[in-house]
Amino acid sequence: MIQAFCTDRKPPAERAEYWTDAVGKAFIRLEVHTQAETKIHGTIRQACVAGVQVGSLDASPQRMVRSASLIAADGDDSLVVSLQRTGYGIATQDGRETPVAAGQLVILDTRRPYVLDYTCPVRQHVATVPRQLVELPDSALRLATGRTYSPGHGISGILASYVNGLVTITDRCIRAPDHCNFAPASTEFLRQGIVDVLTALIALEGSAGEQAAVEQALLQRLRAYIRAHLDEPTLAPATVAAAHHISLRYLYQLFQDEPMTVGRWIKRLRLEACRRDLLRPELSGQTVAAIAHRWGFASHAHFSRAFRTVYGLSPAQWRQAGVPQAAPLQATGPLPGQPDK
């Protein structure tokens, strides 16, 4: 069965409910939260390939939550493979908060709560695989889910190719449904291919699980420390490393597979904090410079340049716009290419 959904078909007031329902029908039931219902935009193209749901999703900024109440209500037991095509987000499951950049894969387990948080428009290719097809213990799954994989090489690259290929087939079927009458043996072959590669990737992660689990736990502590001390002007990679009794080199190594270096991630979090505060009515009496200084920016000129580079507007223009949707949430360019402090 082939399905296509688009919020443009609905009046603005009905789009939030329509979009939440569409995501549930195409992939998995989620709570969808946005900052302005009338600004919701999303399209989904999806097909079922011998029990595996495959499709593409394009959406405006939003937060998708697989809550404990939804898990109890629908009992879905699947693994979600999401390949980020454009945009940037944060995936959280089992206490792991994982940045997901364009080109990266993330695997999620629908039996346990998770959150997908996107502050910019996003495009994904998604495959939902029934858990029973992946013949591995739960212990192996827990090591592999809620983590990102770079598909440039190895098994993760093969998995990304499978997902992209199946989505391409889906798009062709939507454009020309009369040419999509695959024999049952063909769809079984396509399904088994993605199941085998997904199983191999999870098994590989399990074999290296203990060291990876230790490093992931440390990475979570580092992220929590950075968030807790974000307003301190002295916060920098060197102070983070010293507070955790690790070398600066090892700190960089822990962050080497992340979308940003640790220094740039600190800067991006500070910019995000400033962006939110600029829109808070109770802080309207504070100057832009005061808000920037509160979040660790010593130079107002440097802050203004960095803010404009990421959000496309000056801080004053952003504040004047009044709501996030009045200007694009996505970064219009990379963070300034300055060395980490």
pLDDT in tens, 3-43: 889 999 899 889 999 999 999 999 999 999 887 655 788 99
Going by C-alpha positions, the residue among 122, 120, 124, 62 that lies closest to residue 310 is 120
CA atoms within 13 A of residue 165's CA, in its CB half-sphere: 11
pLDDT at 320 over 90: no
CA atoms within 13 A of residue 147's CA, in its CB half-sphere: 23
- Domains by residue range for the chain, with CATH: 2-207 (2.60.120.10), 211-326 (1.10.10.60)
Could you tell me the pTM of the whole model? 0.61
CB count within 10 Å of CB 330 equals 18
Residues facing 117 on adjacent strands: 63, 90
* Residue, of 313 and 205, whose pLDDT is higher: 313
Instruction: Render 159-171 in DSSP notation, one character per residue.
Output: HHHHHHHHHHHHH
pLDDT tens string 90-100? 999 988 888 99
Q: Which pLDDT does position 327 carry in this prediction?
A: 37
The maximal CA–CA distance of the chain, rounded, in angstroms, is 67
Tell me if residue 25 falls in helix, strand or coil.
helix
pLDDT at 276 over 70: yes
Report the pLDDT averaged over residues 318-331: 55
Tell me if residue 285 falls in helix, strand or coil.
coil
Q: Which pLDDT does position 1 carry in this prediction?
A: 67
pLDDT tens string 162-196? 898 888 887 777 676 666 666 555 677 778 888 88
Structure confidence at residue 330 as a pLDDT band (50, 70, 90): very low
